[in-house]
Amino acid sequence: MPKIAYQEKTFRDDIAAYIRKANEIVATYLAQGYRLTLRQLYYQFVARDILPNTERSYKNLGNWVNEARLAGLLDWNAIEDRTRNLKRNSHWDGPADIVRSAAQSYGIDLWEGQEYRVEVWVEKEALAGVIERPSRSLDVPWFCCRGYVSQSEMWRAAMRLIDYEQDGAKTVIIHLGDHDPSGIDMTRDIQDRLALFGADTRVLRIALNMDQVEHYGPPPNPAKLSDSRSNGYVEAFGFQSWELDALEPSVIDALVSETVEEYLDVAKYEDRKAVQEAGREKLLALAAQAEAEFEDE
C-alpha cells in the first residue's frame, strides 16, 4: 500500500502523534479487510478519547490526514471516499480473459426457493462498503437510502417486493440508520410507504438502537432540535444522538450477517451454491478452450 511523498512537511509533536495513531488504527482495520472513511476514522479517535467530539476536531483530523498523505506518512489507499468513484468500461487482453472473468462473477439466485427474501438498507452512502461485504457474501441485495428514500425509488422497491411475495416469499427489509430524530423516523417511513404501495414487508431496524448505544458506548452528539421530529425523540431518548458510523465496521458486518442468516434455509442455500459452482467450472473449462484456440491462431 503506497505512502508517497509529494511535499516536504514538518509537524508539531502533538500532530505527529495523531498521525502515528491514525496509522495504527488504519493498519488494524486493513488487517480485517476494511478501509475507513474519514468520518469512521474520526469516530475511532473519539471513541478512544484521543479527540473531543466536535466539528472542529473533525475538520482538524481531515487536515492532518491530508497533510500526512502529501508528506508520505499515511497510505493513500487507507482512507476512501465512498461517494465519488470513477466509472469506465471493462477491457480484456483476449477472449479467454473475459470468459475467465465471467466464471468468477457468474452467479445464480441463491435465494430461489427460500421462504424469505431479504434486503439490507442503510441510511448513509458512506457505509455502503461496510454493508456490501456481508450482503455480497450472503447474496442479498443492499441499498443506500441517502436519508429518506425518494418516492420513485420507494415505489420501485415496493413493486420488486410484491413480485417476491407473489412468488410465495415473505419479504424483510433490514434497516440501519443513525440514532437521531430523522434516523429513527426513517425506519417508520420505510414501513409506512412500502405498505402504502401494497408491499406486505417487515422492516426490521437492527442499528443503531439504544441497547447498542448502551453496550458499545459510541460518542454522543447533541440531538438536532431544529429537526421537526425532535420533540418526540427528546421525550423518548433525551437530548443526545448517535451516528451509525461510530460503530466499528466489524460490528455492523456481524449484525447484518447474523440477522440475514436468521431468515436463511441453509440446506437449500448450499444446494444452490453447488449448482452455481458447477456452472463456474464449465465456464473455466470454456476459458481454457478459448485460450488454447487463441494461441493456435
Residue 205 lies in a domain: yes
Share of the chain above pLDDT 90, in %: 75
Residue 143 lies in a domain: yes
- Residue 297 pLDDT level (bands cut at 50, 70, 90): low
Domain identity same for 129 and 249: yes
Residue 276 lies in a domain: no
Number of domains in the chain: 2
Domain identity same for 129 and 23: no
Residue 8 has pLDDT above 60, yes or no: yes
- What local confidence, expressed as pLDDT, does residue 295 receive? 64
Per residue in 195-214, pLDDT (tens digit) is 999 999 999 999 999 999 99
Mean pLDDT over residues 48-70, rounded?
94
This prediction has a pTM of 0.85
Mean pLDDT over residues 12-21, rounded?
96
Residue 100 lies in a domain: no
Write the CATH number for 135.
3.40.1360.10
Per residue in 66-118, pLDDT (tens digit) is 999 999 999 998 888 877 777 788 888 888 888 888 888 899 999 999 999 99
- What local confidence, expressed as pLDDT, does residue 141 receive? 97
Domain identity same for 46 and 152: no
3-state secondary structure the chain: CCCCECCCCCCCHHHHHHHHHHHHHHHHHHHCCCCECHHHHHHHHHHCCCCCCCHHHHHHHHHHHHHHHHECCCCCCCECCCCCCCCCCCCCCCHHHHHHHHHHHCCCCCCCCCCEEEEEEECCHHHHHHHHHHHHHCCCCEEECCCCCCHHHHHHHHHHHHHHHHCCCEEEEEEECCECHHHHHHHHHHHHHHHHCCCCEEEEEEECCHHHHHHHCCCCEECCCCCCCHHHHHHHHCCEEECHHHCCHHHHHHHHHHHHHHCCCHHHHHHHHHHHHHHHHHHHHHHHHHHHHHHHC
Residue 8 lies in a domain: no
Per residue in 234-290, pLDDT (tens digit) is 999 999 999 999 999 999 999 999 999 999 999 999 999 999 999 999 988 888 887
Q: In terms of residue numbers, what domain contains 161?
A: 115-264
Domain identity same for 191 and 259: yes
Per residue in 104-162, pLDDT (tens digit) is 889 999 999 999 999 999 999 888 889 999 999 999 999 999 999 999 999 999 999 99
Domain identity same for 137 and 203: yes
Considering only 14-23, 32-41, 222-231, which range has the smallest mean pLDDT?
32-41
Domain identity same for 170 and 237: yes
Residue 223 lies in a domain: yes
Residue 2 lies in a domain: no
